[in-house]
Amino acid sequence: MSSPDKDNPRAEKGRLAALRHTSGLQQAELATRCGVSRQFLSMVESGRTQPNVQVALRLAAELGCSVEDIFGTVAPRHSHGLAVQLVQPHLPAGTRLDVAKVGVRWVAHPADTADSLGGGFGESDAVLDWIEGRAEARPHRSVGDLERNILLAGCDPALALLRSGETSGPSAPGRCAWLNAGSARALQLLADGWVHIAGLHYTSGEADDNLSHVRRLDPGQHWQVLRFTRWDNGWMLHPSARERFRRTEDLESGNIRLINREPGSGSRRWLDHELTRLGIPAAKVAGYADERSSHWECARALRETQADVAVGPRAIAAIFGLDFIPAGEVAFDLVVPKVYLDHTGVQALLQRVRSGAFQREAQTLAGYDASAAGSRAE
């Protein structure tokens, strides 16, 4: 049995048990949530032993109180939350975070980005703190809930519809945090263990390009490809450009300025395929090097007359009051490692994607078809 010290708090006898009873938790349930045995928790409640800092923090998070509420005024000196790995390593303390457990590690992404703030502030899970050079997330939600969170990366604006619902149901709530990312970056985040699900659309004229691209990256077929949406893809253009631009070949005229997507995105890949097919050098396209990281950033640039045309969905063009010239249909798919198909949050998200309610909602977006959402791509 450990002896007390100033870095490992000892619960005042009866206080932890009282807080647990108030929360309506059985001893075994709280022990499971905190990753300890019921016998160990019983010893902590009776004051016969003490938890380490990490367990103390999990107890506090699960009970919705502070460590001091359980253990009195003697609290851990060197830790304020969960040790996390940051996808962006140099975030300042106080940054709001989306947190989830991906595989065996806790990962965190900034909750507020230039891309996300177009719709105002959203939910977050924690606030970043730095303890002796180590990133820690100070959660304001139950650690058990954070374990049910899922992280999703992709560029389809319809992914935002998935953030509005819990990922595990009212008895075990989790969140779906969406990271806007082009197809190549989304797949890289998935491969590197930063997200649970990636979305992609690679349209270059090949049959079922998404599936063939994933198979090249994943020859062992450890990833499952699921259908999500299909949308009308084409040219978004400022109304003032409608007489000067009718088709892709007009980019070579010198009278049209493009806003491009970043390398690796599905829209950029489609454009490059078209330019190659038509024999148009990228150097002859005004604005080819002027890049934005999302469909709505491109549309905003067009509305503000920074350029004339950009590749994007009909739905985004409609929202921004832009003209639209269709150029085909895009299939946007979800890629899920098979090991995550049993994750509570992933299962709930896929159930939502397959629901008639979600499919009807998605199909209210101009040019969208979600009738196959959630089905397996073979």
pLDDT digits (tens, 9 = 90+) for 1-10: 333 344 445 5
| pLDDT exceeds cutoff 70 at 166 | no
* pTM, entire model: 0.75
| 284 compared with 123, residue with greater pLDDT | 284
Residue with tokens 């270059």: 204
Residue with tokens 């509005």: 164
Q: Which segment of 112-116, 137-141, 281-285, 297-301 scores lowest on mean pLDDT?
A: 112-116
Q: What are the start-end ranges of the H helices in the chain?
A: 15-22, 27-34, 38-45, 53-63, 67-71, 143-147, 183-191, 209-217, 266-278, 295-303, 314-319, 344-353, 356-362
Q: Which segment of 50-59, 161-170, 184-193 scores lowest on mean pLDDT?
A: 161-170
Structure tokens at 328: 């085909």
Helices and strands per DSSP (H, E), number in the chain: 13, 15
Q: If pLDDT is split at 50, 70 and 90, which confidence band does 372 have?
A: very high
In a 3-state reduction of DSSP, which class is residue 343? coil
| 153 compared with 21, residue with greater pLDDT | 153
| pLDDT exceeds cutoff 90 at 56 | no
In a 3-state reduction of DSSP, which class is residue 19? helix
Q: DSSP secondary-structure letter at 5?
A: B
Q: Which segment of 139-148, 238-247, 346-355 scores lowest on mean pLDDT?
A: 139-148
- Cα–Cα distance measured from residue 15 to residue 262, given in angstroms and rounded to the nearest whole number: 55
| pLDDT exceeds cutoff 80 at 268 | yes
Backbone angles phi, psi at 238, to 5 degrees: -65, 140
Once rounded to an integer, what is the mean pLDDT over residues 266-288? 95
The pLDDT mean for the chain works out to 87
- Cα–Cα distance measured from residue 316 to residue 232, given in angstroms and rounded to the nearest whole number: 10
